[in-house]
Structure formats: structure tokens, C-alpha cells
Amino acid sequence: MRGFELVHPGSLADAIGLLDTDDDTVRPFSGGTALMLMMKTGVFRPSRLVHLGRIGDAYSEITASPAGGLRIGAMATLSALEHSPEVIRVAPVVARAMTRLANVRVRNVACVGGNLAHGDPHMDLPPVLAALGGSVSVAGPQGTRDVAVEKLFSGYYETVLGRGELITDVVLPSQRGWSSAYLKCTTRSADDWPALGVAVSLRIEGGAISEARVVVSAATEILTRLTTAESALTGAAADESTFARACEAAAAEAEMVEDARGSADYKTQLLRVYLRRALTQAVQDGAVS
């Protein structure tokens, strides 16, 4: 790594002001666990890092809404998500996903906002939040806006965030009545980046699926909702034959990327298997009350 300027704005407005530049060697820095790897390998050579650790404690708060939703400050660490009583109650699938993400030390430092804004399709949290219908609040020089997590990513390590924009919160709608699960498959070692991530969220009423969200990540260039698989699930009984149809629809729909973790064909087969397991697990774990 080479020398750069590390600045510590004391407010969100100051941070946005410092980031409102066309210079792409100026970047926000929260937990830094992902950025440090890019800096150490020379992939990223910053001229200035805008450290967000001092913009205020309000940006790391996690609060449950009376309606059954959740607001998660972007500076909340992944460990805070893992252990938050609100997260465990409202969105237990999020807390469970944390237990197999990196390790304790990384989770102690890495933050929710950076995890999303990094745009890495191999991350575990984005597909889970997308399946739960989550959105992010974004603040920038032109004001604030909301973006659905499933619309946040525009390419490999690319997001729709514009110049000077920062994610300030993640907002989850009410999870009451939804059954959710996330599974990933690592092919080289247990702690490898996933070859495939699949997140599902189902609303089941009287044994039939009334609404479904299916999101695939890691094996695809960006996280992707599989709408034909969702159509195969919606209105059908929550049983094995429905799940089998949905898995075939997903396999036909997803555009898999071949890499060191497996061929496209192999990942398509993984999707068939892991989507069925995720759907089964969501039903077994039951709905959030």
C-alpha cells in the first residue's frame, strides 16, 4: 500500500461533501475489511479515504418498527446484526446468515452499508435482504432516495449509487407471516467465497404459497430475482412437487458464470439442489410471528 489521506468527517453532510467528487481514488471507508484487501493487492490505490466511523452513533442503530419491520443503520457491524435481539426476532434468517459469514473478527468490524455498497456478488447479506423485500435509504448531494436492494447492483462490483451518495439505512418491511431461508455452497473449502447463494422468502396461507421471492447470488454476475421460479411457486401448494417445478424453472432462468469455483453447468445443478433445500428449510423453520 502507498500513502493516502485518511479523513474523519464528523457528520453525514461533511462525509457527502468530501465524497462529492469525480476523482475515483476518493472512496468511503467504514469497516474497511473488503477495501483493505483491494488496497493490499494494489487493485485499488486511494488518494483519500473518507472514514465514516465518526459521523454519529445514530447510523449504527438497529430498531424494530411496531408494524414488524426493521431499520438497520448502515454503520451497524455484522456482529451487531448477528446478536441484535430485534434482528433475531424480526428477521432471524439475517442473524443465522451471519454465523457462516467470514469470521468473528471480520464481522466485528465490517459494516452493513459497506457490505452492500461494495457490490461484490459473492456477499451473503445482499441476497438475504433482497429476498426479505429490503430497501436502502441513500443520502447524497441532491438529497435522499430509497433503492430496493434487488435494484442496487448494476454490474460486477458496480452499484447504482451516484457521486457522493452513501447508504444510510437498510429498511425491511414487515416480516410477519413470511418464512425465509438462505443457503450457500462453498466448493473449495468451507470458508471459501460461495459458489452459489440462494435466498427465499415465502408467504404461506392455508398450505398454499401466496407470495414468493427467490434470489440467486454468487453464481451470477449480480444478484438476481428468479421471477419464473417465483411464478411456479405462487398460488401452488407448498410441497415437494411445487418445489421441483420451481427448481427447474430457476435452472432454466439463471445465467450462471463459470469461474474457479465451478462450471456454469455445475452451478446450475447446485441451484436445483440448493433451491429445493432452501424452500424446504423455509417451510420447516416456519413464519415470523
Partner 1 sequence: MDASETVKKIRFTLNGRPVSATVESHVDLVDLLRRFDLGGARESCGQGLCGCCTVVVDGVAMSGCLTLAQLVDGKRVDTIEGLDQTGALSPVQQAFIDEGAFQCGFCTPGFVLMTHQLLERNPDPSEPEIRDYLAGNLCRCAAYPEIIRAVKSAASRMRASAAA
Q: Which residues bind partner 1 (CB under 8 A)?
A: 1-6, 32-33, 36-37, 39-40, 47, 49, 51, 53, 99, 102-106, 108-109, 190-191
Report d(CA 282, CA 289) in Å as an integer.
14
Residue whose CB is less far from partner 1, 102 or 125: 102
Which residues share a beta bridge with 224? 216
Q: Which is nearer to partner 1, 57 or 66 (CB)?
A: 57
Nearest approach, Cβ of 53 to partner 1 (angstroms)?
7
Contact 253/226 with Cβ under 8 angstroms? yes
SS (H, E, C) the chain: CCCCEEECCCCHHHHHHHHCCCCCCEEEECCCHHHHHHHHCCCCCCCEEEECCCCCHHHHCEEECCCCCEEEECCCEHHHHHHCHHHHHHCHHHHHHHCCCCCHHHHHHCEHHHHHHCCCCCCCHHHHHHHCCCEEEEEECCEEEEEEHHHCEEECCEECCCCCCEEEEEEECCCECEEEEEEEECCCCCCCCCCEEEEEEEEEECCEEEEEEEEEECCCCCCEECHHHHHHHCCCECCHHHHHHHHHHHHHHCCCCCECCECHHHHHHHHHHHHHHHHHHHHHHCCEC
Residue 52 or 283: the one with the smaller Cβ distance to partner 1 is 52
Shortest distance in whole angstroms from residue 105 CB to partner 1 = 5
Non-local CB neighbours of 152 within 8 Å, separated by 6+ positions = 116, 126, 136, 159, 160, 161
**Based on CB atoms, which residue is closest to partner 1, 191 or 205?**
191
Which of 105, 176 has the CB closer to partner 1? 105
Residue number with CB closer to partner 1 (218 or 249): 218
Shortest Cβ 40–partner 1 spacing (Å)? 6
Taking the complex as a whole, the smallest distance from the CB of residue 83 to partner 1 amounts, in Å, to 9
CB of residue 208 to partner 1, shortest distance in Å: 36
Question: CB-wise, 82 or 230, nearer to partner 1?
Answer: 82
Least Å from the CB of residue 197 to partner 1: 18
Smallest distance from partner 1 to CB 2, Å: 6
Specify the residue, 51 or 245, whose C-beta has the smaller distance to partner 1: 51
The amino acid present at 52, given as its one-letter code, is L
CB of 113 to partner 1, least distance (A): 17
